[in-house]
Homo-oligomer: A and B are copies of this chain.
Amino acid sequence: MSDIATRKPKERKRGSGVQFVYNVLRDEILDLALAPGSPIDEIQLAERLSMSRTPIREALVRLAAEGLVTTLPNRSTVVANIDFLNLHTFFDAITLMYRVTTRLAALHHQPGDLVVIRARQAEFAKAVEDQDALAMIATNREFHAAIAAAARNPYYESLFLRLLDEGRRLLRLYYSAFNDRLPQQYVIEHEDMITAIAERDVEKADKLASEHADQIVAQIRNMIARDHRQQIAL
């Protein structure tokens, strides 16, 4: 069992309780440690994290506001399901956010931003080199989050982060299929995007982000189709 979730009581500072529960639950949901659709028992959680139900409930309210859990009135709250029937709305939105944030990053990035973005890209490249699929998923998210931060639009940023998280969950589902030669292609595409941003070439950044998004969407679609065939074969 994980360490952070079973920490001794009274080791935490006052005021960090809700944040702590939020982080634990969020990670477990995005890592699929908590299965989509599974109910969350407040009392059980309270015992596991050795705290009262109050901070746990507040964390759940926050997660509900972000769409990571669904609260049924007077009944248990459940981990949000993955809506395979409407994945196209997800693909549509994340593609647009890839484009908009990359575009605005080219327009508005400030001195320190590129340093951060390049650092994230280095981490992603390392994950690819190590063939560590889980690290790829995580570092890829951080790379694009860094670009979104440089775009300096909190509205786009918050939607994009939400979409990236949802994508993390989706990729987790199929991460075993994530070790063909595509990731190397992503490294190159990332490099091109960085260059376009650095040169403040807005149209090029937009175009690259759009192609990048299409690649990722196509890959996810592929993985789902492959998985679907396997399920039928069984």
Contact = CB atoms under 8 A, between A and B. Distances in A.
Nearest to A153: B89
Given A14-B74, A15-B74, A156 B93 contact: yes
Contact of A153 (B65, B92, B158, B162): B92
A111 interface: no
A192 interface: no
Interface in A1-22: 14-15, 18
A215 interface: no
Interface stretch (A42-50, A56-64, A131-139, A140-148): A56-64
Contact of A58 (B58, B93, B153): B58
A71 B58 CA distance: 13
A100 interface: yes
A74 B66 CA distance: 23
B73 A15 contact: yes
Contacts of A14: 74
10 contacts: A54-B54, A58-B58, A58-B61, A61-B61, A65-B66, A67-B158, A86-B154, A89-B154, A155-B162, A158-B159
What 8 A-B pairs have minimum CB-CB distances, sorted nearest first? A65-B65, A93-B155, A89-B153, A61-B61, A159-B159, A58-B61, A15-B73, A15-B74
